[in-house]
A and B are shown apart, each in its own frame.
Chain A
Amino acid sequence: MEKTVNQKAWFLVLPVLLLVAFSAVIPLMTVVNYSVQDTFGNNQFFWAGLEWFEEMLRSERMWDALGRQLMFSGIILAIEIPLGIFVALNMPKSGFWSSFCLVLMSLPLLIPWNVVGTIWQIFGRVDIGLLGYTLDALGINYNYTQDILAAWVTIIVMDVWHWTSLVALLAFAGLKSIPDAYYQAAKIDQASRWKVFRFIELPKMMGVLMIAILLRFMDSFMIYTEPFVVTGGGPGNATTLLSIDLVKMALGQFDLGPAAAFSIMYFLVILLISWVFYTVMTNLDKREG
């Protein structure tokens, strides 16, 4: 059939354009707007150019927060990805127990962020929390409001508890898609368990793992609620991750200009890292192919 060209079809896209404009583009432009202006109150703004950006780039505070943020994302990825794979490998492949595990593992994913924070905040308290109390009773010095290490361990364990399931579920989906014949061939070829993992399971999971890593990276890089509820960014600034710092700056100190510049750079960093990661992974994929 001959396809007719009808430019009116563009009107069908219009509602989406409008929605995106109101939900993303306009708010983003307000941020851009603030980032290049200064104010002394009274709703009077002055052109400030790139001053805020320069200030933020020179600000030690931002670099420290970025360092902590990278460390946090790095640690949780290093734990959640291997742990998720390990869990997926050891889950029952079918039957009642498989469904049971799936449901059980989905539970943490369904809990709202601030509730997760609250759960761990209470769980870890030395006076009334089961974890904190037990550790204390065992003679381990654990107090996440004063001890930097304890605070870090708490927010990392919390994130691992909350999100390892996601990695495990994705990895499990990848594993389930492997035809039986691969395992049979591996048995005939007398491949060891490690080789089965290395040459069959891992390659077949690569696609979903890439998605898992990207999702977990972006999400953890933007994390706010959970650590904020537990530690409030403390002790001191020890767990002040990027977005916690941003909120402190924007709402606590009402430094809209620097905060806006900060947000834009924050956004660009996430975009950049995700892009680099994605390109590297897909190139690896192609080179192997």
Chain B
Amino acid sequence: MAKITLDNLAHSYLPNPRSEDDFALKELNHDWDDGAAYALLGSSGCGKSTLLNIISGLLHPSQGRILFDGKDVTRAPTAERNIAQVFQFPVVYDTMTVHDNLAFPLRNRGRDEAYVAERVQEIARMIGMEDMLKKKARGLTADAKQKISLGRGMVRKDVNALLFDEPLTVIDPHMKWELRTQLKKLHHDFGHTMIYVTHDQTEALTFADKVVVMYDGRVVQIGTPEELFERPEHTFVGYFIGSPGMNVIPARIDGNKAYVNGSYVQLARGYGALDGKVEIGVRPEFARLSQTEGLPVKVRRVEDVGRHKIIRAEFFGTDINIIAGEDDRISADMNRVTFDAAHVNVYANDWRVQGEAA
């Protein structure tokens, strides 16, 4: 168990990176607190696996340092770092039995057989494969292989950190829920530092204390699920977290008013002059349809998704979404929209601008 510090870390797969674009992972400074559970979220190709591989030592960064509890391990090989990692692509050793697969990391570290047997039993129970231990791993289904792969990651107790790279992709929803609960319990019992990569935001939000959102090789925000929801630091976070994502509307800011096509939206804070691409962001949860108040909007479609209704609409040429309660009545003459001023964020060049209290 250790605090993991990334100091000026960056990585490029090219031997001679020229511009920032050549970096799969852009410069990054961050402390992963000892014993915390992190979820790493981001779209495909944004560098999540790259980051994990650097932490576990499978990949050496082109620049910067990694410290475990203050000790520099940048050049240390994987074995010395004592990290468990579960890969995106499930790896099983085909010719071994399920039991031997789970025992493999322990046996390679010379643990005695009694301990190995006990640990394997325990893990097999967690992943629900107790009755398959004697089977050869070859020929098992894809989800069984993924469970074995996950089990091998959890079998060691003494690791510095547990890294999971989308470990549950092919597992059915019920088992997924079950395994996620097991992982949480594991975290609770042993207090390992955990980093969990996923595409699935519900998974991320239920699993983690802190969510790390990556975009295009950069960490754009680290925060609690609430922070990500209320104050997305980057338009990508707003768009990526939440369903549907945050509405982003081009605007011109003047003091505490955001002008959209001549009409204005009231803001809770005041802003100075802003350069570049200026937008306001407001979550569908904080927009409301109305007959009388607010700015004109063209409603296209109303979708009933059970817990609430999603209204797809056009607002001065921008597509926006509005969420209404399950029981709210939507009538044809509701062609105006209001935004909750306290929850309208302002973005300049995709980054959130902190306003001053008005």
Contact = CB atoms under 8 A, between A and B. Distances in A.
Interface stretch (B102-110, B125-133, B250-258): B102-110
A139 interface: no
A199 B56 contact: no
B235 interface: no
B88 interface: yes
A199 B95 CA distance: 7
Contacts of B152: 185, 189
Chain A interface main SS type: helix
Contacts of A60: none
B105 A190 contact: yes
Contacts of B67: none
Given A195-B108, A289-B138, A289-B139, A187 B93 contact: no
Given A199-B93, A288-B95, A184 B108 contact: no
Interface in A186-231: 187-192, 195, 199-200, 203
Contacts, number: 56
Contacts of B105: 188-190
Q: How large is the interface on A (under 10, 10 to 19, 20 to 34, 35 or more residues)?
A: 10 to 19
B79 A190 contact: yes
Interface string B62-96: 00000000000000011100011101110101111
Contacts of B136: 288-289
Given A189-B152, A195-B108, A203 B94 contact: yes
Most buried by B among A181, A189, A203: A189
B266 interface: no
Given A199-B96, A288-B136, A289-B139, A181 B108 contact: no
B95 A187 contact: no
* Residue in A184, A195, A200 with the greatest tally of chain B CB atoms within 10 Å: A184
A184 B58 contact: yes
A182 B94 CA distance: 11
B53 interface: yes
Given A181-B87, A184-B53, A187-B78, A192 B108 contact: yes
Contacts of A203: 93-95
Contacts of B83: 188
Most buried by B among A182, A185, A288, A289: A185
A179 interface: yes
Interface in A32-83: none
Interface of A: 179, 181-182, 184-185, 187-192, 195, 199-200, 203, 288-289
Given A184-B85, A188-B83, A188-B105, 20 more contacts: A181-B88, A181-B91, A184-B53, A184-B87, A184-B91, A185-B87, A185-B149, A187-B58, A187-B77, A187-B78, A188-B56, A188-B58, A188-B85, A189-B104, A189-B108, A190-B79, A190-B109, A203-B95, A288-B94, A288-B138
22 contacts: A179-B89, A181-B89, A182-B91, A184-B85, A184-B87, A185-B85, A185-B91, A185-B149, A185-B152, A187-B58, A187-B79, A188-B56, A189-B105, A190-B78, A190-B109, A191-B104, A195-B108, A199-B93, A199-B95, A199-B96, A203-B94, A203-B95
